[in-house]
Amino acid sequence: MPRLTVIMPAWNAESTIRAAIRSTLRAMPRDAEILVYDDASTDGTRRVVGAVADRTSRVSLVEGSVNVGAGEARNQLLARSDSEFVAAMDADDVCLPHRFLAYRRQISGSHVLFAPIARFERLPRVHIPRPAALSPAAMPAALLVLNPVPQSTMIARRDALNGGSTYRRGHAEDYELWLRLAASDVLISLTSVPTVAYRHHPEQSTSQPGYQQQVRDNERLIESYNALVSAVLGTDARHLRTEELRVRLEVIVGQLDSSRDRKHLRRLLSSRWSFPLDATSGFPSQHPDDQ
């Protein structure tokens, strides 16, 4: 049994998945495997993955007969593996060579570990973010400000995830999962060194028209957000305006022991992307006198 399984959902990824698999193979330790779920692709994705799998037993292909979406594809891969640790990887990204170096030591103080991403459109133009690590103590508050953790960098202890229904269908299903895990006292941390090169392209879901509104319409996401507000602040998010929520979080930030956590959380709070769900009417909520 491998100690680490890298799960990779893929849909019409013929042009990028070879680089994703090869870079992951080069980076991952000996006691690891890659499981790819082909989500009923209509291009040559299965052929590309099959060709790689024919050359190494460390890559396996699971073929989906109908399109189920990336979240359910990840659930299927989780159900088919039994490793101690699980890592995410997207079929259109590139794994950096150092990603899995000492990963067990890095995750020792948490259940789920993330890292920043380096962004690129056409090499060699690559954007490297400034360091912004967050400890498990700071992550619940950070997740209430925005989603600061990239899905494709995740490394998790399997027993911290929620089994076969880990990802729930809906837009931003990864953010909904992090909120739900944090509300359940799962320890989540973010390191400061990028581990994945994230490819920007017009076909990705976040680039599609109406995506932001579809995220705001995800009732499960709102429910999990409210649950984390209750866990962190001891109050119902539906009774808070966004500015009240911001003020309360600033108090929480000031109480954190780590100066690095305080610095990075204040940066998130001042970001123009903070509280992205607030654009929808009634979220976090409207008071009766606002109706």
Cα distances (angstroms) measured from residue 154 to each of 6, 99, 189, 252 = 10, 10, 10, 26
In terms of Cα–Cα distance, which of 62, 63, 107, 101 is closest to 84? 107
What is the reported pLDDT for 28? 97
Contact 158, 200 (CB under 8 A): no
- The dihedrals phi and psi of 118, each to the nearest 5 degrees, come to -90, 130
User: How high is the pLDDT of residue 56?
Assistant: 97
Q: What is the pTM of this model?
A: 0.89
Peptide bond into 97 cis (omega under 30): no
Q: What angle do CA 258, 175, 173 make, to 5 degrees?
A: 165
| 152-172 residue pLDDT tens | 999 999 999 966 569 998 888
Per-residue DSSP letter, 195: -
pLDDT beneath 70: ranges in the chain = 122-129, 162-165, 200-212, 215, 279-291
Q: How much is the pLDDT for 115?
A: 96
Do the strands 112-114 and 188-190 form a parallel or antiparallel pair, or are they unpaired? parallel
Q: What's the confidence (pLDDT) of residue 218?
A: 81
Per-residue pLDDT, 237: 79
The reported pLDDT for the residue numbered 164 is 56
pLDDT for residue 119: 86
